[in-house]
Amino acid sequence: KRKVILDVDTGSDDAIAIMCALLSQELEVAAVCTVWGNTEVEYTTDNTLRVLTQMGMDIPVYAGASTALVKYLSKERCVDGTCKAVIDGKEVRIHDEHLKLPEAKYQKKSLPAPFFYLDYLAEATEPVDIIAVGPLTNLGIALSLNPDIVSGIHQMVIMGGGSMAANVTAAAEANIWHDPEAAEIVLESGVNPVFVPLDATHEAVITKDEIAGLRENGNFCSRFAAELLEQRMAVHNAIQPLHLKDSATVHDALAVACVVDGSLLRDVREESVRVCFSGAGEGHLVMDRREKREKANCRFAYSADREGFVRYLNRTLGCPENKS
Ligand code: BDR
Ligand code: CA
């Protein structure tokens, strides 16, 4: 099994991603780090603990950063309807009583997430993949305190950025826009991450009929995911471009899925990327397209296998009892 650490700002698609990671036969989740982003870190941590409680899996949870490294964002920073898409109690309501998550039975650890990374990665005896699906603040802090921890990371997969697509502003994707400086630290660190950007996640949408199919799978995880996805679809129908109509993005789950099956990402290219910090392009990933460009510092997925991803979701969320 592949050891993974999740870095999440749970978040409805984060919740689905956590369930996918826990239920994927191929993965072993060593820890979950939480970060601010979709909402405040107290909520993203509580939401995460509630997902784990529902799954009956007492995996260590380390709460992390509550703000970006540099920029200040007020608590009302909500970007659009999906921004505060927490699982319960805020904008996203679970309509079906049977699909409410239980109160958290487990406690977060006292060590803050960046320090967990410092300890864990310095002592790691086997390779670990980090799947980061929120702002990169925790990783930015850890990497700036000890750049050597890069050698403890087998692979870092980041849901973030976009080349031809944006969501939070005309130029930027939310996870990168929330903490551009942290993203730049990660890019400069030499970790050579795999980006699962909006170009890929907008391709790998789940349609209305497929969401209905997921609900029919019958068990809690697939019905819970279907409930969240229906609400994401409603938001998409209200605010997103036409091509996402009657479908939902599941951004963060694609980042988990591609660790299980790399072929779900398509058109993956080596790129040399920098982050724009200010102005209209704040949070935008700038690709060096010059002939004599800077050395590549990441791999960037321009597309994804939509049908393969939906099959993964069905198979993984639909069969919790198969996890050994
Ligand atoms: C990303 O931003 C968050 O709102 C989602 O959870 C996802 O990680 C998509 O831009
Ligand atoms: Ca997220």
Q: Pairing relation of β-strands 2-8 and 27-34? A: parallel
- Residue 106's identity, in one-letter code, is Y
Structure confidence by residue, pLDDT tens digits, 279-295:
999 999 999 999 888 89
User: Which has the closest alpha carbon to 78: 88, 70, 86, 69?
Assistant: 86
Which residues lie below 8 Å from residue 307, measured CB to CB, with a gap of 6+? none
Question: Would you state the pLDDT for residue 320?
Answer: 58
Mean pLDDT in residue range 233-255: 84
Assess whether pLDDT exceeds 70 at residue 82: no
| pLDDT of 84 over the 80 cut | no
| Active-site annotation, residues | 251
ipTM above 0.90, yes or no: yes
Q: Tell me which residues have their CB within 5 A of the ion that is ligand 2.
A: 9, 11, 14, 133-134, 252
Report the range out of 13-27, 84-98, 218-232 with the highest average pLDDT.
13-27
Task: Provide residues with CB under 6 Å of ligand 1.
Answer: 11, 13-14, 38, 82-83, 133-134, 159, 167, 173-175, 251-252
Residue 242's pLDDT band, with cuts at 50, 70 and 90, is low
Read off the tokens for 60: 């260590």
